[in-house]
Structure 1
Amino acid sequence: MSKIWLLKTEPDTFSIEDLQACPDGTSGWDGVRNYQARNRLRDEMDNGDAVLIYHSSCAEPAIVGEARVASAPYPDPSQFDPDSTGYDPRSTPDTPRWYQVDIRFVCMYPQPLTLKTLRQDPEFADMELVIRPRLSVQKVTERQFQRIQQCCQSTRASA
């Protein structure tokens, strides 16, 4: 069974609308610079895994839609570019520190699920987003995923 992930992004930097507008609705998910998040992305994510897109650092943080992992993990090229905000002088092509995956847009939720609502619903009391909100790559259980789809009135496109 494929896994389910929640990926956090700041919509002013890269929103679900930006992902949808990419060629084939697919983009590299780069810029992860936390070791625990990197380890999950590098060691646990697989092509085909489900992804929830979460808009953070905005007026109303919320789960706004779904994507799917569309590649195996690979070194994040921004770590090698001195002009990139993701540049890491300790990374080399032979020993990269940071990884990314490609993700493909699946759907936007007609009714996003806000963090405030998540915190009020006992079904989400054990969700990483509620108990460890800062991590940018989070695991989601099948039970939580099904409940999120119910709350968001999902009209998922087939992936």
Structure 2
Amino acid sequence: MNYWLVKSEPFKYSWDKFNQDGRTFWDGVRNYQARNNMKAMKEGDLVLFYHSNEGKEVVGIAKVVKEFYQDPTTDDTNWVVVDLSPVETLKKTVTLEQIKKDPRLENIGLVKQGRLSVMGMKQEEFDRILELANEE
């Protein structure tokens, strides 16, 4: 299994809206590195959902339910989407500030490549964020 993080601005597509929808295709990616990451996603992979710009926090866990296919919002064959479904809302959100302060997360893509909207994660990074979400 692989682990990922996707970003969405809450005013464009929030975790709450995602939960209401129950499933979505992840579109609008127009960065080649992010696109290549989506092409590497496999059904069943786990994905952290991050609210960017407003909030700047990890809010939930999703999973890949359909591997990449042509982005239906464009005729340009360079761009793809994957289908995601929500799995679980985090007990407590994990802020970018917390992530930046945690020595176990110092090399996470969220800090090193802050503008990338779809990024891979190491299992240890994924697990550490879940630990932080479950701390009292």
TM-score category (smaller protein) = over 0.9
SS in 1 for 2:67: coil
CA-to-partner distance for each residue in 1:102-159, whole Å, 9 max, x for gaps?
Answer: 00000111211000110011010010101111101111111111111110018xxxxx
Aligned pair 1:15/2:14, yes or no? yes
CA-to-partner distance for each residue in 1:10-64, whole Å, 9 max, x for gaps?
Answer: 0100011111001xx111111111011011112x111111000000011x20011
Q: Which residue of 1 aligns with 2:50?
A: 54
Runs of 4+ in 1 over 4 A off after TM superposition: none
SS in 1 for 2:134: coil
1:52-91 paired onto structure 2 within 5 Å: 52-58=48-54, 60-80=55-75, 91=76
SS in 2 for 1:78: coil
Unmatched 5+ residue regions in structure 1? 81-90, 155-159
How high is the TM-score relative to the length of structure 1? 0.82
1:26-45 paired onto structure 2 within 5 Å: 26-42=23-39, 44-45=40-41
Identify, as 1 or 2, the structure richer in strand: 2
How high is the TM-score relative to the length of structure 2? 0.96
Aligned pair 1:109/2:108, yes or no? no
Q: CA deviation at 1:97?
A: 1.0
Distance 2:34 2:122 in 1: 17
> Aligned-residue CA RMSD in angstroms?
1.1
Q: What is the percentage of aligned positions where both structures have the same residue?
A: 37
Q: Which residue of 1 aligns with 2:122?
A: 141
Q: Which has the larger radius of gyration?
A: 1
